[in-house]
Amino acid sequence: MRRKLLALAATAIAVPSVIFAAVHSAGAASGSQQASKIPADKQAADAAHEAYLANARAQYAGVQPPSPGPLPTSCPYLLPNDLANTVQPFNSANSNEIADALEIDTSAEALVMKSGYTFRVLAGTSDGGAGAVLITGDPIDPCAHPDQNHLSRLITIAKTTHLRVSQVAQGLVDVTDQAGLQHTVDPATGDAH
């Protein structure tokens, strides 16, 4: 409906009587429908919005939308290839740099890699002390990983419960709480045991 009327609107810029006749005709065809009671402030707001759109269309009439390019084949969480199968030193001096490179989160008590399960991340200490990040496995596209949502949930759980995720492995995640107790988290449910 609107699609058709848009085309009419373009015509109406030059010949207003045409669109009036078209709309009037559509209304007449609907028979006995009552008058709309749309409040005046809504009508005015809509008119102002339509005026904005019309002005924008006129102002940029010759502008063609750019090609959006190909769809992204990865997401920002993808591990850079050249960092795979390496051990990265981790300390307070370079933690942010490594975190940026790996797209990992060091903003809370947890150090969790936002990546696929084929990576293993050994967390540094939560207070920024020395540690190591061990990266193994092949990079995968975590956006296409079916458990991506569970990883995101784990990040939140770890933040809110102050668990320190020490290892992300296939199927299960080991965590250590602030009292030093070991837990295993089921990624399917997010439950810690």
Partner 1 sequence: MGASRAVAGACVVTLVSLSTVGLPMTPANAAPPHYSHTWYVTNPDAVPALGASDALYNNQFCATAMVILDWGQLNRHSTDTDTQYDHYGMDDFAGGAPFVAMNIVADRSTKYIEQWEANATCGSLDLVVGTNNSAPECPTSPCNIYYYGENLALAISNMTNWMSSHGYLNNPYFLDLAGGSDIEGDGLPYWDTAANSRQAVDGYNTSWDSVGARFVDYGDPFTSQYFASGDQYYVNWQATHDWPLPQDYGSGFYPAYDSLDQNNGDDWEFLGALSQCGGADPLPTGTYCLDALGHNTYTPTTAFNNIANTAPNLQTEMSYSPNIKNQ
Residues 59-98 binding partner 1 (CB under 8 A) are: 59-61, 63-68, 71-72, 75-76
- Cα-trace Rg, the chain: 29
Contacts of 150 (CB under 8 A, 6+ apart): 187, 188, 190
Nearest CB to partner 1, comparing residues 47 and 87: 47
Q: How many CB atoms lie within 10 A of CB 39?
A: 8
Minimum CB distance to partner 1 smaller for 43 or for 86: 43
The residue type of 88 is: Q
Q: Which among 4-12, 85-93, 122-130, 176-184 is the span making contact with partner 1, rule CB under 8 A? A: 4-12
Stretch of 38-46, 79-87, 90-98, 126-134 contacting partner 1, by CB under 8 A = 38-46
What three-state secondary structure class fits 38? coil
Residue with smaller CB distance to partner 1, 32 or 180: 32
The count of C-alpha atoms lying within 13 angstroms of the C-alpha of 177, restricted to the half-sphere facing its C-beta, is: 11
Which stretch, 54-62, 94-102, 124-132, 170-178, contacts partner 1 (CB under 8 A)? 54-62
Judged by CB under 8 A, the number of residues near partner 1 is 71
Q: Is 6 exposed, middle or buried (0-12, 13-18, 19+ CB in 10 A)?
A: exposed
For the chain, give the longest Cα–Cα distance. 79
CA 101 from centre of chain: 19
Our CB check for partner 1 shows the closer of 6 and 93 to be 6
52 or 129, CB closer to partner 1?
A: 52
Within 134-193, which residues bind partner 1 (CB under 8 A)?
143, 148-150, 152-157, 190
List the interface residues with partner 1, window 7-26 (CB under 8 A): 7-10, 12-13, 16, 19-20, 23-24, 26
